Amino acid sequence: MDFVFAAIFEVFINLYIELMTLIVPEKKVNKKKLKFIAAIEAAALFVAVIIGFCMIAESDGANVSGKVLLITASAIMKWPDSTSL
């Protein structure tokens, strides 16, 4: 079962890295594309929090990768304000 969660964790890390490289503009990025990227990142972070929580709950708090996933995703998240985009 740990293999499945490790594989899911690996997919999310690769997805996160790909999304972060999309944010760095090679040319001028319009506001619509930036909002789309931010929405995808927010959805990925939300899913990471849910998976991390499930990993911790399944192992009664002993799963370290679940704790790392939950803490990292929670730390990256922030509430959007009207001036951010």
For the chain, how far is it from start to end, CA to CA, in angstroms? 40
Q: How far apart are CA 56 and CA 35, in angstroms?
A: 31
Give the pLDDT confidence of 34-76 residue by residue, as tens digits. Answer: 788 778 888 888 888 888 889 888 888 888 888 888 888 877 7
Q: How far apart are CA 37 and CA 42, in angstroms?
A: 9
Q: How far apart are CA 38 and CA 68, in angstroms?
A: 22
Q: Is the overall model pTM greater than 0.85, yes or no?
A: no
pLDDT at 45: 86
Name residue 52's amino acid: G
Q: Which two tokens stand for residue 52?
A: 């991390």
